[in-house]
Amino acid sequence: MAKGDNISHNTTVFRAIRKSRWISDQGNPEWTAFVLNSEKGEDELSILTSSNCTASFCSAMFSTCYGEIELTAGCFLDIGLQVIETPTDEIPSHASVLGLPPSTDEAEARSLAKDILECVKRVTTRKFRASKSAPKP
């Protein structure tokens, strides 16, 4: 697939758990994992089309990673969102979810995020912290 191509309904996708508050003490994902950070100017939700939340990947891409949430692209498509391929040299499996409301519209953002949570297939939790000398993949 090329950049900008739509991802099919049945494609398995992953959302990296980048913040500890995105996961409950019981290991369940929180709705906040699927909300844009409007303060940072986010207008798309980053996901991956392959499971990449390994120690080396997280060390290279994030300061800390707590695991990943597995679901299908259909979770987003079924509620009227768009899922497209947005690969980069660093992350060839990167994709984006478009159409989410800004976090400033908390009621709508929370409602859609809770709809997404209903179709989560699996949550894998494991904490990786980047070392300052970690090699880039």
Tell whether 137 is covered by a domain: no
Query: Are 47 and 14 within 8 A, CB to CB?
Result: yes
Confidence of residue 6 (pLDDT cuts 50, 70, 90): confident
Tell whether 3 is covered by a domain: no
Tell whether 65 is covered by a domain: yes
Tally of structural domains, the chain = 1
Tell whether 2 is covered by a domain: no
Tell whether 4 is covered by a domain: no
CA distance 22 to 28: 8
Tell whether 28 is covered by a domain: yes
Tell whether 107 is covered by a domain: yes
* Beta strand ranges found along 56-93 (DSSP E): 64-72, 82-85
- Give the pLDDT score at 20: 87
SS3 percent helix, strand, coil of the chain, rounded to 5, is 25, 30, 45
Q: Which residue has the higher pLDDT, 44 or 16?
A: 44
pLDDT for 24-81, tens place per residue? 888 889 999 999 988 888 899 999 887 555 545 554 555 677 788 899 999 999 999 9
- Give the pLDDT score at 52: 53
- Give the pLDDT score at 136: 42
Tell whether 135 is covered by a domain: no
- Give the pLDDT score at 127: 66
- Give the pLDDT score at 113: 93
Domain that holds residue 124: 12-129
pLDDT for 82-136, tens place per residue? 999 998 887 788 899 999 998 889 999 999 999 999 998 888 777 666 554 444 4
